[in-house]
Amino acid sequence: MESATSAHAGDVYLSSTEPDEWEADTDVGGYAHMLFDHGASKAGLWKADPVASQEPPPVEIPARETILVLEGEVRVTLDGGNPYHLQVGDMISIPAGSMVGWNASTECKVFWVYS
């Protein structure tokens, strides 16, 4: 996924989240904006599709994923277990290999990191 992120000396990344710099997220729906992508290490923003109404199927995450909810709410279900209900300011860190189901409010936006 390409973005308007630019690398600077010393691997510092700077990004802007203008509306035309979001791309469709084909894995879980919604839209993503990448800050950086170095194989298993990635970071960026994700926001829900305000017109989508269906919950995407669970996906296996390839690396530890840590998210911070910036707007809205999201229900995260790990490996078919009990869901975690996250609101603005909540964070969660999920182990690699987990099957994760996401059900986000239409105004949901999160910052996420794969590590």
pLDDT tens, N- to C-terminus, the chain (115 residues): 344 555 555 678 888 777 667 899 888 889 999 999 888 899 999 999 888 766 788 999 999 999 999 999 999 999 989 999 999 999 999 999 999 999 999 999 999 999 9
> pLDDT value at position 56?
83
Say how far apart CA 8 and CA 12 lie, in whole Å. 5
CB distance 6 to 18 below 8 Å: no
> pLDDT value at position 2?
40
Q: Report DSSP state, residue 95.
A: -
Question: What ranges do the domains of the chain cover?
Answer: 6-114
Provide the 10 A C-beta neighbour count for residue 85. Answer: 11
Residues facing residue 34 across a β-bridge: 44
Name every residue whose Cβ is closer than 8 Å to that of residue 7 and which is 6 or more positions away in sequence: 13, 36
The position carrying tokens 């997220």 is 25
The CATH class, in words, for 6-114 is mainly beta
> pLDDT value at position 8?
55
